[in-house]
Amino acid sequence: MKLAAAAYKMDFLDNWEAYAAKLTEWVGEAAGQGADLLVFPEYGAMELATLAGRDVALDLEASLHAVSEVIPQVDALHSELAKTYDVHILAASAPVFDAGIGPRPVNRARFFAPSGAMGHQDKQIMTRFEREEWDVVGGGPLTLFDTALGKIGILICYDSEYPLLARALSEADLILVPSCTEAAHGYHRVRIGAMARALEQQCVTVMASTVGTCDWSEAVDTNSGMGGVFGPPDTGFPASGVLAEGTMNRPGWTYAELDLDAVARVRKDGVVLNRTHWDEQAGRDRPAVLRSLS
* Alpha carbons 107 and 125: distance in angstroms, whole number: 10
The backbone region for 236, taken as left when phi is positive above 0, alpha when psi lies in -120 to 50, beta otherwise, is: left
pLDDT of residue 195: 98
pLDDT of residue 78: 98
Query: Domains in the chain, start-ordered, CATH in brackets?
Result: 2-277 (3.60.110.10)
What's the average model confidence in pLDDT over 134-155?
Answer: 97
pLDDT of residue 2: 98
Q: Is the pTM of this model over 0.85?
A: yes
For 93-132, the pLDDT digits (tens) are 999 999 999 999 999 999 999 999 999 999 999 999 999 9
Query: Counting runs of H as helices and runs of E as strands, what totals does the chain give?
Result: 8, 14
Q: Is the pLDDT of residue 66 over 90?
A: yes
What's the average model confidence in pLDDT over 251-261?
Answer: 97
**By C-alpha distance, which of 133, 137, 33, 122 is closest to 71?**
122
pLDDT of residue 131: 97
pLDDT of residue 254: 98
* Alpha carbons 62 and 58: distance in angstroms, whole number: 8
**By C-alpha distance, which of 246, 166, 254 is closest to 204?**
166
For 262-277, the pLDDT digits (tens) are 999 999 999 999 999 9
Q: Is the pLDDT of residue 3 over 90?
A: yes
pLDDT of residue 202: 98
pLDDT of residue 294: 86
Residue 149 contacts residue 114 (beta carbons within 8 Å): no
What confidence category does residue 22 fall into, taking pLDDT thresholds of 50, 70 and 90? very high
pLDDT of residue 228: 98
